[in-house]
Structure 1
Amino acid sequence: MNGQSLDQKEKALWAPAPAPFEGPAVTLEPCPGGTLPADGVRVLSLDGAGWEMIDGGTVAERTDPAAVWDGALPARIPNTVHTILYENGVIPDPLFGKNDKLARENSYKTWWFRREFEVDGDFAAPRLCFDGVCYNAVFWLNGHFLGGHIGMFGGPEFPVGGLLKKHNVLIVKVENAPADPRPYSAYADHDEGWKYGVVVNCVYGWHYACIPSRGIWAPVSIRETPRLAAERPLIVTSDYRTGRLTVCIRLAGRGQGRVRIQVKPHNFAGESQHFAALFTARDDATVLRYTFTVNDARLWWPNGYGGQPLYEVVTAVEPQGDLTQVFREVTGIRQVDMQPLPQGPREDLYNWTLTVNGRPLFVKGTNWCTTDALLRFPDGRYDRFLSLAKAQNLQFLRAWGGGMPESDYFYQKCDELGLMVSQEWPTCWDSQKLQPMEALVETARIHTVRLRNHPSLVQWAGGNESAQADGPAMEALARIAFELDGTRPFHRTSPYGGSLHSYSTFWEMEEMDAALNLRAPFIGEFGMASCPNRESVYRYIPEEERHLWDPEAKTAFNYHTPRFNEFRWPENYNDMDHLLRRAEEFGEIRSIDDFIFGTQMAQSTAIRHTLEAARADWPQAAGICYYKLTDVYPACSWSTLDYYGVQKTSYYVLQQAYAPLHAMLVIRSIHAAAAYPVVLLDDNGAAAGKPCEIVVRVFDGALRLLHQEVHAAVPSGAVTAAGEVRLSAGQAAQAPLFLHVRLRVEGVEQDDTFYWQNYREKPGCLKTLPPTSLEAKPCGGGRVEIINTGAVPAAGVLVECPAHDTSFTCDSGMFWLDAGESRIVSVSHTGGLRLSAFNVPPAGC
């Protein structure tokens, strides 16, 4: 090794042109403020109602502006074909039962869209702009052919200055492409066509749902074009220690004028600052660079490390005799770097240590999956999932290549919540070698410029799980990351350069211990599939199936699994075989409720120990992302929040594992060990220099206390070894065996968690514990006291609210309560609560 990292080696190989900020910059000093001009570029939105949609017909019939479309459906745009059909009652809910087949059939038709609109006054060099049409589309305006376009993530744009009238007719033809359907059965399908397009590929049936997207799914508008056009500025934190920013503006065209910049607090009180400069653009491609210092700058930090102060940077580009362009960007002052692991840089390893504002951090992450197969993304849906991500103590979301370049609102919320994002481009399994390169490059260019000012965005990546991750398209994606941004690392794919993906305990059906012993500098994906809660399952299966249990039947319940229970791999195993392999370790499965319990416990067990062990391995382990937080379709899948936004048991278990101040045991097997290392994790120094006690208690299957130890520690860093808990052979042989860990800092309880061991020796033993009882008492202010009113501990206490499960929140779950002990939890709803534990049947209160 020559002291060079893989990052450095690859950048030298790609030899990108300079980044926008790499060049001389004009230093600006504050100047007197004033009212900035309004944006002089007019925009006419064509979104909303007023569209028509119809299938079939000839080009001559459909492109005649005067023709009447008999049988056309009213449509709201943006929307997919399938949503429009569902909203008009043409197809049933595609998420229910096996209705996806009825929706899918409409992916293989030719669809036409029409919008009539009025234009008042003259537009300066108007362009017709589409932000996303899926997938192969052709366009006409007032009977004039404009052109065609492929790719769903932006474009096309057409100059329409000679075509616009007072009354206008826009017609769009969306054709059946890409498509390569390969049915599993009469109702289950997967479509290999995604490999030949640039699409949301997780709706093509390789998992989850097979409803290939079609339609005008993103905004449409008419926009004016200045003669001297400015690209959306890049805002760079040049020095986080002094609050120095650099604003880079790329101009197309020639001319001169003035730039005015206003910087003001966005989500906190403070003074505005103003800056101004004159410019001359002598070339057709000019980059303006201005650097200045923000007074009393507040730094943006990830969740758990500080606040998320945001600034609004308003940049007005005012060319002489031309349209003024005004850009409003909400950003944060922060600097992201990737540093080597402690052993130093290596040519075969990326630099994995994420450093924010000079501080190295362990990355606590998850994988983010596109949240709806029909591409419906209301703000409230993002609010639900992202707020729960923050509450789970997450800091990092891998927006993986099976999905899409995420929305403006997604990134706005991540900025506000302190959730860092790695944005992958929509490629998987080396599909970049088959996908149309022009469409892929267009996607990356459009969305790099759109997203690059978000402080939450910390990494670009070429896509998901590509074995080679090379070729001209990958090289182009890399150069775009450096040439249009340059402030963040670019990784070819995940896993690569020291990261790891593994599903050996699910797909290969290896022992659970294989998951518990995964180790790597960075784990990018691993996990276990589980079933949603009962109320969620009832939303997508027919009523007659609710009390039916037959894992071999062709039911809707069995169909809503990773590969529709039709794909057999390896050997002759279907999805239910894989799920039952783990679920039956927790007891006999005789009902859907048994299956829910078993799969959710398996998911919790397979993930939590690996998360904790990675944290304990810091700084040799730099981070971990479990798979996954969200789902694109309601099914038994790997998410900890189901499609409807309801928390599974695993959500709460992993919330504990990711707690910023956490006492834990290193557990490498589902079978009890003779000794367990005790570790105190303190991400942000909350307990630094303070006397801490870690109390470890051991209970048998009768919930009798077998053993107790107290370990003292005074932490001085993120990870503190606090000794070992040792068990006798007789204690370690108990089935089941529970280990409860409680942390006190200066005598005050700050954290507790519990573990279950030896459950597989007696399947079902977690449900045959001595019973106890629970009671809930409202405390006011959205708080409820949960009391164990019985004579033995309550293990695995859950607080749920079935009537409001899609909006319900509780700040704690899957916890331990000693006999007579109580805990106050904060909840969103205090009425209609359901309490349960391993030894307390679910009951309302």
Structure 2
Amino acid sequence: LTIRNPKLWWPHTLGTPHLYRASFSFHNAGKITDRKSVVFGIRKVSDFYTKQGFRGFKINGKKILVRGGGWVDHLFLDDTPESNRNQLEYVKNMNLNTIRLEGFWGNSQSLYSLCDSLGIMVMAGWSCQWEWENLVKKKVDPKYGGVISKADIALMSDAWHDQIVWLRNHPAIFAWFGGSDKIPSPAAEKSYLHILSQIDSTRIYLASAKEWTSTVGPSAVKMRGPYAYEPPVYWFADTAYGGAFGFNTETGPGAQIPPVESIKKMLSPQHLWPVDSVWDYHCGRHMFGKLDRFTKALALRYGTSRSLAEFARKAQVMEYEIMRPMFEAFSARRYVSTGVIQWMLNSAWPEMYWQLYDYYLMPTGAFYGAQKASQPYHTVYDYARRALYVVNDRLQDKNNCTLHVRVYDPQSQLKYEKKIGVNLPANSSKEVLKLPQFPWLKTICFVDLRLTDSSGKEIDNNFYWLSKKRDILDYNLKPNGWYFYTLTSQYADFTALNKLPEVAVNYKITWRKKGKGFTV
């Protein structure tokens, strides 16, 4: 089948996800004996490598900064096309372009078909469940996991074959993972690669989501954490672990507390306040089984909370503040940075950890931090160097723009102002200004950034609150166990925010009927 000058499938952040439908019918003795209809897209997936040796990806020959989250199926595997669409619309609304599936495949092709039509890329592959002794319930190899015997390799190879045949027509899928935390044994990988050569050569194969070297060479991605609380400066300052360099396949600043409405659904009244062991029950396992790192940082940075309402409100503020710079740092450092996957996107059950929106589909502060950081045209503050960047995430130049910088003191008095003419080359980022030290700064200040196009129309705005007392990382302090986060030796102080006078906010909500639903 030859299609001349096809309309290409693009991720929604770069273009239109064009799709085609091919219909086939089989005839015997003048009668149709079978028919099949297949929806597919046409696109080219390739990769490139940074000077540091990390892998990046291209779609249709164009580099793309991968921004996404780790997808998990619902606890009872009862996801529906409607629930999948609701969540993927959230992904698109946040301007993220990717979901990563670690062994979660859905209960139908609905998830993948929706990603095809919405222009959301998918990284698919095996989970870590077969790699660890406590999960696979058998002896495992420290490098190759539990799939060692000929029988197990044959079983996994059959599954690999069947799932790739099942999903290979979906243009949204751009990478297959042969492993997660470990890599397949040489024998297993040989089988996987043979299957790929026979049935699918249109995607990138990665042996692991971690830094391993297999029979085909380095995976050229990293899985160095963090998975727990980190201050905003971490993502710009860190050059050893999870900071903005290379492709980080799973990472994030830890706990994301749901809004208060969801907390009240999750917990019985006697456990709503203060934070107790029932809250911890709704966290993760092992070193992620408590909220202590988050609650310590929240209290030291924003002040002690005296009620559930105060705690939940401050939590949303800090979640926004610590999620935004993760995505911003990777965006500003493109293409030294090539991608970042927030761990996780969603939750399989009501919980307090790793979620941009909660089990009840309520966005957390982290949702809006990711959304703000991923705007198509964006201004970014580098917490490590006090530098300002302008970012263009599109494939077309955006020239003759103006960046308006204003800095205010806690009384909203303008203390610094500057306007800069900037050009935004396609798919790029560049540093345009370094803010000076402010001798008048005593506690906190506010940085207001506005970007306008050549006609004067605002195309981006960003607002930061900064502390005279800085967050300081200490790499000499080692957490117990694995390096799942870098410890903080000094916390920023935003308690002055508690003294700001309250103001009345006027707002108007308009509902408009749109199809079967409503637009707010």
TM range (shorter): 0.7 to 0.9
- SS in structure 2 at match of 1:493: coil
Deviations 1:547-601 (A, max 9, x none): x3143xx43x3321123xxx4x4xxx95122332332232213333343334434
What does residue 185 of structure 2 align with?
470
Query: How far apart, CA to CA, are the structure 1 residues paired with 2:165 and 2:76?
Result: 26
Q: Please, what is the CA RMSD of the aligned residues?
A: 2.9
Q: In 2, are the aligned partners of 1:613 and 1:667 still within 8 Å (CA)?
A: no
1:231-259 CA-to-partner distances (Å, cap 9, x unmatched) read xxxxxxxxxxxxxxxxxxxxxxxxxxxxx
Aligned counterparts of 2:372 and 2:72: Cα–Cα separation in 1:
22
TM-score, normalised by the number of residues in structure 1: 0.52
1: distance between equivalents of 2:181 and 2:433?
A: 38
How far the C-alpha of 1:655 sits from its partner, in A, is: 0.6
Unaligned runs of 5+ in 2: 133-143, 212-218, 470-490
> Match of 1:619?
335
SS at match of 2:180: coil
The aligned counterpart of 2:20 is 311
What secondary structure is seen at the aligned counterpart in 2 of 1:458? strand
Structure 2 counterparts to residues 781-820 of structure 1, below 5 A: 781=512
Equivalent position SS for 1:381: helix
2:446 to 738, 745, 748: 738
CA distance in 2, matches of 1:465, 1:649: 29
Give the CA deviation at 1:318.
4.2
1:706–1:357 distance in 2 versus 1, CA, 3 Å = same
What residue number does 1:533 align with? Answer: 259
Matched-pair contact (CA < 8 Å) for 2:99–2:121? yes
Query: Within 1, Cα distance between the matches of 2:233 and 2:434?
Result: 20
Deviations 1:653-695 (A, max 9, x none): 2111111111222223xxxxxx63222211225552x311111
**Partner of residue 642, structure 1:** 358
Structure showing greater Rg: 1
Provide the rounded CA distance (Å) in 1 between the counterparts of 2:34 and 2:187: 35
Q: Does 1:414 align with 2:115?
A: yes
Which of residues 142, 145, 159 is equivalent to 1:433?
Answer: 145
Partner-residue secondary structure (3-state), 1:412: helix
Contact 1:522 1:624 in 2 (8 A): yes
2:405 aligned residue: 696
Per-residue CA deviation, residues 695-730 of structure 1 (Å, 9 max, x unaligned), is 111122233222111121122332243521323342
Higher helix share: 2
Q: How many residues align?
A: 467
Distance in 2, matches of 1:330 and 1:525, equals 31
1:582-661 alignment, distance < 5 Å: 582-584=297-299, 585-661=301-377
**Alignment partner of 2:192: what SS?**
helix
| 1:773 match | 504
**Higher relative contact order (Cα pairs below 8 Å, separated by 6+ residues):** 2
Distance in 2 (CA, whole Å) between partners of 1:326 and 1:539 is 48
Maintained 8 Å contact 1:586/1:601: no
Superposition deviation, residue 329 in structure 1: 0.9
Who is 1:443 aligned against? 159
Q: Distance in 2 between matches of 1:425 and 1:504?
A: 21
Q: How does 1:70-81 map to 2 (within 5 A)?
A: none
Q: 1:703 to 1:338 in 2, by over 3 A?
A: same
User: Could you tell me which amino acid in structure 2 is paired with residue 458 of structure 1?
Assistant: F
Q: Is the 8 A contact 1:505 1:512 kept in 2?
A: no
Counterpart of 2:459 in structure 1 is 750
- Could you tell me how far apart the structure 1 residues matched to 2:396 and 2:442 are? 36
Q: Distance in 1 between matches of 2:95 and 2:444?
A: 29
The 5 A counterparts of 1:544-563 are 544-546=270-272, 548-551=273-276, 554-555=277-278, 557-563=279-285
Distance 1:406-1:334 versus aligned 2 partners, 3 A rule: farther
- Give % identity: 22
Residues 435-473 of structure 1, C-alpha deviation per residue, up to 9 Å, x if partnerless? Answer: 54444223212110010001101110023222x553533
Of the three residues 366, 379, 393, the one matched with 1:683 is 393
Change (3 A) 1:574 1:325: closer
Correspondence for 1:727: 436
1:363 alignment partner AA: V
TM-score by length of 2: 0.82
Contact 1:522 1:623 in 2 (8 A): yes
Equivalent residues in 2 for 1:256-655, closer than 5 Å: 291-294=1-4, 297-318=6-27, 324-341=33-50, 343=51, 349=53, 352-370=55-73, 372-401=74-103, 403-404=104-105, 407-428=108-129, 430-431=131-132, 433-435=145-147, 436-466=152-182, 468-496=183-211, 497-504=219-226, 506=228, 513-516=233-236, 517=238, 518-527=243-252, 528-546=254-272, 548-551=273-276, 554-555=277-278, 557-563=279-285, 567=286, 569=287, 575-584=290-299, 585-655=301-371
Measure how far apart 1:642 and its partner are. 0.6
**2-side partners of 1:337 and 1:406: how far apart?**
29
Note the alpha carbon deviations across 1:814-835, whole angstroms, 9 max, x for none.
xxxxxxxxxxxxx834xxxxxx
Q: Contact 2:257 / 2:353 at 8 angstroms: preserved in 1?
A: yes
Query: What is the rounded CA distance, in whole Å, between the counterparts of 1:526 and 1:724 in structure 2?
Result: 29
Question: Contact (CA 8 Å) 1:317, 1:324: kept in 2 or not?
Answer: yes
Counterpart for residue 828 of structure 1: 519
Alpha-carbon deviation of 1:638?
Answer: 0.8
Alignment check: 8 A CA contact 1:661 1:686 kept? no
The answer to whether the Cα contact below 8 Å between 2:223 and 2:249 also exists between their aligned partners in 1 is yes
> Could you tell me how far apart the structure 2 residues matched to 1:622 and 1:406 are?
31
Q: Does the residue aligned with 1:433 lie in a helix, a strand or coil?
A: coil
Write the deviation string for residues 741-784 of structure 1: whole angstroms up to 9, x where unpaired.
1100011111101122227443533333232221113567589x
Q: Helix, strand or coil: the match of 2:223?
A: strand
Instruction: Give, in whole Å, the separation in 2 of the partners of 1:322 and 1:678.
Output: 68
